[in-house]
Amino acid sequence: MSRGRPGVRAVAATAGRVPAPALFLVSGLTLYVGAAVAVGLFDTLDAPAVGWWRIVLAAVVLVAWRRPWRRRWTGRELAWAAAFGVVLAAMNVAFYIGIDHLPLGVAVAIEFSGPVAVAAVTGRGWRERAAILVASAGVVLLAGVTLESGIPHDDAVTGLAAIAVAAACWAGYIVLGKRVAGAGAGIDSLAVGMVAGALAFAPVWGHTAPDVVAHPRVLAFLLVVALCSSVAPYVLDQVVLRRVGTATFAVLTALLPATAVVVGAVVLRQAPSWGEVVGLALVSGAIVMTARA
């Protein structure tokens, strides 16, 4: 954190007194509460447009906070940050299409196949190889239960395809994020990347701007989505990562599918079936298995 930002230092000092798992749980809750709010907007705005607006407004907040233009950037750093942001935007858009057709908990669990695949490919031990089999079993079970549920078949197929794309984008996000983080730019690169992601998809959903600006209530809810699902979780994750190792952090991420199920059940009335619970448990187990990677 910058020495010249007393407000940021105060927030960091306050967060420092909270146990890391509790902070991570708050991060997960804000992430999926934001997703639940987004679902409520789908009747007003198309799901992918909501995903794009999440990136736009998060970019505005992060740029205003970090003021990345004050940093000296090389062309390579800007290129990696832009690629990172475009993949991040694509991941958000695909995820929102997915949760428009699938229960939140199911969508989140299937999306985790992306990080598990990265860990399995980059890991060297039997644990990572076995984890991809466990995660695959969970995903197959979740997909099968979804196709056999009361969701219309076309909706289920569309949702599963969208979440598969989101999972692939999440894998790319991890790989690119590692490069961006290695350059030392941190949240400044995230701010630049989100601007690039917003601009990349502006030709597709930019036409929604007049309608959104003309309805302050919709704009306010979109801002809540951006703050809850993009800004707050990322900043809290950085605080947690400074206090625990990456292996511990990876184990904590196993809480996220369960967190999404709880939020979906409480906020969206999406109670999981026993088959979905078993699939969620398998995916969470695979996340724990890949913690060392």
Q: How far apart are CA 251 and CA 293, in angstroms?
A: 11
Q: How far apart are CA 192 and CA 80, in angstroms?
A: 10
pLDDT at 7: 46
Q: State whether the Cα torsion 260-263-269-272 is positive or negative.
A: positive
- Among the listed residues 150, 25, 40, the one whose alpha carbon sits nearest the alpha carbon of residue 96: 40
With beta carbons less than 8 A apart as the criterion, state whether 272 and 105 touch: yes
Q: Which amino acid is at 1?
A: M
pLDDT at 253: 79
- The number of beta carbons lying within 10 Å of the beta carbon of residue 76 is 10
How would residue 4 be classed by pLDDT, with cut points 50, 70 and 90? very low
| Residue-range domain boundaries for the chain | 20-289
pLDDT at 133: 86
pLDDT at 118: 83
Top pLDDT among 260 and 186 is at 260
- Among the listed residues 195, 226, 201, the one whose alpha carbon sits nearest the alpha carbon of residue 33: 226
Residues 106-155: tens digit of each pLDDT: 999 999 888 888 877 777 777 777 888 888 899 988 988 888 888 898 99
- The number of beta carbons lying within 10 Å of the beta carbon of residue 3 is 7
pLDDT at 246: 60
pLDDT at 250: 67
pTM of this structure: 0.85
Q: How far apart are CA 147 and CA 43, in angstroms?
A: 23
How would residue 20 be classed by pLDDT, with cut points 50, 70 and 90? confident
Exposed / middle / buried, residue 217 (Cβ in 10 Å: 0-12, 13-18, 19+): exposed
pLDDT at 247: 61
Residues 149-176: tens digit of each pLDDT: 888 989 999 999 999 999 999 888 888 8
Mean pLDDT of 275-288: 88
Q: How far apart are CA 286 and CA 78, in angstroms?
A: 34
CA distances to 8, 20, 101, 134 from 280, in Å:
36, 23, 18, 11
E strand or H helix that includes residue 268: none
Mean pLDDT, all residues of the chain: 85
pLDDT at 48: 95
